Structure 1
């Protein structure tokens, strides 16, 4: 069943179009990064200037954003396109009842939908990252350090998890709504709300709570407000992805929240070890993993209790 679903995804025109778009943005971002890699690695004041392969994913000319910014925008569309009609398409075409008439468990059908799309996304992102590493080695001739390899493949794994969340959400909507168009529009609406309007609502809430002149507040209270704003923003999966990828690809990032002058006293700007960066982003990783698991478990519950008629 998984191989059949993978074959259907590969032959799908919408997947081909979206993958072509992501490959195009990848090539554009890599071209801009290679064009600016000399300035990025030659800046001795930058504590991360020795990480050449990480600079390939973060260097920019201030016009074209880096690749991980493109993924934060296009990744949800990829996940939604792979799952919005996973179940309701089978039901509208009449094949769902015939499949269930065979000796096939319902959970196997649902798992095959999720696993097949997840494997397609995994192979796709892994191929892009290997292409980036090979291109960097070909054009620069600089070998990759183990620290860079760990961070790049952790970035790839988190990108796959980010797309998997939107895949699980779209499959859930495919089970809940009988029309594929309704499921697609609802998923895109949720994505637009969490990406654009949610941040606007948080900003309006902050403007209503904070005084007109926030500088009059004590530093402890101001830090408490900033932490509260960040925690509210991190409800959105896009913010979790941005926090995690920024920490992984920029090793000198030491904190994802406000830092007082007392905490900064004596700190030497230097890249953190991979383990320390992973500890910083562990709440983001566990939060996105928990959201994906809860969403798929809810889908599983609804699908197992659903009545299927021919």
Structure 2
């Protein structure tokens, strides 16, 4: 299994599509963090710095039409996992190397586990380097040193992000096992990502409006019930959860 893992690691880090997507995510995250840092620094001029201001760099969008870093990773991080996993098995079928691979004295599940571990390790390195780089930019731009609680929250966020992106990579690997065609497995993975990332939010508002409508906008109980139902339904989306 570890031999397969090392081989897949080399393939991932030399893959052009992985490098292009990671550079794209890095570029957008850098711009978002820099602009958010400028916005936070401007807002804090002449005032005492509140607690946990360093975390605002990752959670504050610099405009209403743009994502924060956390939102960007939540919505587009799955694409990184999907690209790394949608052809994990059926690519071996097309290149006629799967039969040679499973004919070796290894367990068949070691092939899948090795590919998944390699992908998870690659995702961990990518997200860790991204978080460290953004933290360095935030330190220079805002001039605020994060406290122990903020560092702990960033570490927890990193672990959750790795598990989140790895979850989508695992789904993509599953589709690569179920479908022989590379295009079919890629489309199935992307379609599932679109449904859970975008359509669930729209569906939650529609269902909440149907089962807990706000007939009187001045009635706080109706408004709270509507928002609670919409929030409960939106938890079906991994991005919200």
| CA displacement, residues 62-90 of structure 1 (integer Å, 9 cap, x when unaligned) | 15321111112211111100100001111
SS at match of 1:162: helix
> Which ranges of structure 2 fall in alignment gaps of 5 or more residues?
none
- Could you tell me which residue of structure 2 aligns to residue 284 of structure 1? none
Compute the TM-score of the two structures, normalised by the length of structure 1. 0.70
Maintained 8 Å contact 1:40/1:55: no
* Corresponding residue for residue 200 of structure 1: 202
Residue equivalent to 1:235: 236
| 1:30/1:56 contact within 8 Å kept | yes
| Contact 2:86/2:173 (<8 A) preserved | yes
Distance in 1, matches of 2:91 and 2:216, equals: 53
Cα deviation for residue 159 of structure 1 reads 1.1
Name the counterpart of 1:89. 91
Q: Secondary structure at the match of 2:67?
A: coil
Shift of 1:122: 0.3
Q: Which residue of 2 aligns with 1:179?
A: 181
**3-state SS in 2 of match to 1:161:** helix
Matched positions, count? 237
Q: 1:142 to 1:238 in 2, by over 3 A?
A: closer
Match status 1:10 vs 2:13? yes
Match of 2:159 in 1: 157
Matches within 5 A, 1:2-151: 2-42=5-45, 49-62=50-63, 63-151=65-153
Q: Is the 8 A contact 2:85 2:169 kept in 1?
A: yes
Looking at structure 1, the residues matched to 55 and 212 of structure 2 have their Cα atoms a distance apart, in angstroms, of 38
1:226 has 2:223 as partner: no
* TM-score, normalisation: structure 2: 0.89
Change in 2 beyond 3 A, CA 1:33/1:222: closer
Quote the Cα distance in structure 2 between the aligned partners of 1:138 and 1:203. 41
Give CA deviations for 1:204-230 in whole Å, capped at 9, x if unaligned: 2223223461558783x7645533332
Aligned-pair CA distance for 1:140: 4.5
Counterpart of 2:88 in 1: which secondary structure? coil
- 1:134 deviates by 2.5
SS of the residue corresponding to residue 60 of structure 1 reads coil
CA RMSD of aligned residues (A): 2.3
What is the distance in 2 between the residues matched to 1:227 and 1:209? 12
The answer to whether the Cα contact below 8 Å between 1:40 and 1:59 also exists between their aligned partners in 2 is: no
Report the alpha carbon displacement of residue 196 of structure 1 after superposing the two structures with TM: 2.1
Q: Deviations over 1:273-297 (max 9, x none)?
A: xxxxxxxxxxxxxxxxxxxxxxxxx
How far off is 1:39 after superposition? 3.1
Contact 1:195–1:236 (Cα < 8 Å) also in 2: yes
In the TM superposition, what whole-angstrom CA distance separates every residue of 1:176-201 from its partner, at most 9, and x where no partner exists?
Answer: 11111100001111111112222222
1: CA distance, partners of 2:62 / 2:224:
33
Q: What does residue range 209-288 of structure 1 map to in structure 2 within 5 Å?
A: 209-211=211-213, 213-215=215-217, 219=221, 223-240=224-241
CA–CA distance in structure 2, aligned partners of residues 80 and 31 of structure 1: 28
